[in-house]
Amino acid sequence: MITTHATRGLVWLDLESPTDEEIGGLVQRYGLHPLVGEELRRFPSLPKIQSYKDYVVVVLNIPVRTKQNGVYKIIDQEIDFVIGKTFLLTSRSETIEQLEYFSKIFEANAILNRGEKIEHAGHLFYYMVKRMYAGMFADLQNIRDTLLDAENHVFNGEERSMVMVLSNVSRELIDFRQAARIHQDVWEEMLVHADKNFFSPDFFEFIRDLRDQFNRIHELVVNSRELLADLRETNDSLLNTKQNDIMRTLTIVTFIFYPASFIASLFTIPAAVVPLVGTELGWVMILVGIVVITGGILWFIRRKGWI
């Protein structure tokens, strides 16, 4: 399916799960290289940038945070861009929320009404990626909020339940970094060729701004991973301390009552003569003896400071 948007001599054609006929028509219409047509057909593909005489091909993977079965996950969504002087092609295999949002802004001329500079399709590409980076930054902020909330739970005695929460956040950050790891290389390569392409001379500044925005995203990922590592270490330490306290308590209880059990078992031996057994006060004397021995052990433990 192809959706066409046009304004001020610029055309944006958005392809969602395009057919071979649709791609073939666009290749012929804009004089694209056959390999570009193959790129638009192939999903998934590796992130990259390829410069041609009259257009540039950019492939980006956009990490998107989505909730599935009550658990947040990072979904890797690919977008292929073909950027010409007066046209922009975007190709994707599924619906991308930030791209849909940008199309509504574009149709309403909200970008132009804000006085944004759009002289060629390169500027349109810049605002489109900027919108996607805003979505990525918002997702990372939500992940960081999850970590800060987990920090409160960790110090409120909920260490056990936080193990799974921190593990899920760790998976999100790993998937996020994996999906966006090539963006830096793409912008660096575009900066190398920015002064040689057919866009306006100031387009260099727009690409540098995209690189700087991605660096902010990368820095937030790094900071979140550091916070996660500290929280996991603290949570594991508190959890181990609590488990050690439980084991110590159980050991002390066993140490206190084992002698009492041992003494009681002595009077159940089926011998011919068992002291105190069968006498009028035998049961009371045995019970008193057990209580005295147990109390003595408890006093010894408390004096040693074990409890």
Looking at the structure of the chain, the number of domains it has is 2
User: According to the model, what pLDDT value does residue 41 have?
Assistant: 74
Higher pLDDT, 213 or 120: 213
Give the model confidence (pLDDT) of 156-209 as tens digits.
877 787 888 888 888 888 888 887 777 777 777 777 765 555 667 777 788 888
Whether 194 and 292 share a structural domain: no
Whether 199 and 250 share a structural domain: no
Q: Where does a domain end: 240, 266, 287? A: 240
User: According to the model, what pLDDT value does residue 242 have?
Assistant: 76
Structure pTM?
Answer: 0.72
**Sheet of strand 2-7, all strands in order from the earlier edge strand to the far edge:** 2-7, 10-16, 87-92, 71-84, 55-68, 48-51
Mean pLDDT in residue range 282-289: 74
Q: What mean pLDDT value characterizes the chain?
A: 77
Within 8 A by CB and 6+ apart from 12, the residues are 4, 5, 6, 87, 88, 89, 90, 106, 121, 124
Whether 198 and 285 share a structural domain: no
Res. 95 pLDDT band, cuts 50 70 90: confident
Give the model confidence (pLDDT) of 58-71 as tens digits.
888 888 888 777 78
Q: Which residues pair with 10 in a beta bridge?
A: 7
Res. 27 pLDDT band, cuts 50 70 90: confident
Whether 64 and 184 share a structural domain: yes
* Torsion of Cα atoms, 247 then 249 then 251 then 252, to 10°: 160
Q: What are phi and psi of 116, to 5 degrees?
A: -70, 145
Q: In the numeric block, which tokens belong to residue 11?
A: 């055309």
Whether 107 and 149 share a structural domain: yes
Q: Which residue range(s) make up the domain with 10?
A: 2-240
Whether 110 and 235 share a structural domain: yes
User: According to the model, what pLDDT value does residue 57 have?
Assistant: 83
Q: Where does a domain end: 184, 213, 240? A: 240
User: According to the model, what pLDDT value does residue 114 have?
Assistant: 55
Whether 209 and 268 share a structural domain: no
Q: Give the chain's count of helices (H) and strands (E).
A: 9, 6
Lowest-confidence region among 31-45, 134-148, 176-190, 225-239:
31-45
Whether 174 and 46 share a structural domain: yes
Beta strands in the chain (DSSP E): 2-7, 10-16, 48-51, 55-68, 71-84, 87-92
Give me the DSSP letters along 280-304: TTHHHHHHHHHHHHHHHHHHHHHHH
Whether 107 and 250 share a structural domain: no
Cα separation, 254 vs 269, whole angstroms: 22
Q: Where does a domain end: 184, 219, 240? A: 240
252, 260, 262: which is closest to 302 by C-alpha?
252
Residue showing tokens 């990072």: 74
Higher pLDDT, 18 or 147: 147
* Highest mean predicted confidence (pLDDT) among 57-66, 176-185, 263-272, 297-306: 57-66
Residue showing tokens 């570009």: 36
The CATH number covering residue 140 comes to: 3.30.460.20
User: According to the model, what pLDDT value does residue 87 have?
Assistant: 82
Mean pLDDT in residue range 71-97: 81
Does residue 291 have a pLDDT over 70? yes
User: According to the model, what pLDDT value does residue 44 have?
Assistant: 65
Whether 226 and 83 share a structural domain: yes
Whether 280 and 176 share a structural domain: no
Does residue 111 have a pLDDT over 60? no
Cα separation, 264 vs 286, whole angstroms: 8
Higher pLDDT, 1 or 91: 91
User: According to the model, what pLDDT value does residue 119 have?
Assistant: 72
User: According to the model, what pLDDT value does residue 273 have?
Assistant: 62
82 and 88 in contact (C-beta within 8 Å)? yes
User: According to the model, what pLDDT value does residue 244 have?
Assistant: 74
Res. 109 pLDDT band, cuts 50 70 90: low
Whether 199 and 277 share a structural domain: no
User: According to the model, what pLDDT value does residue 35 have?
Assistant: 80
User: According to the model, what pLDDT value does residue 43 have?
Assistant: 65
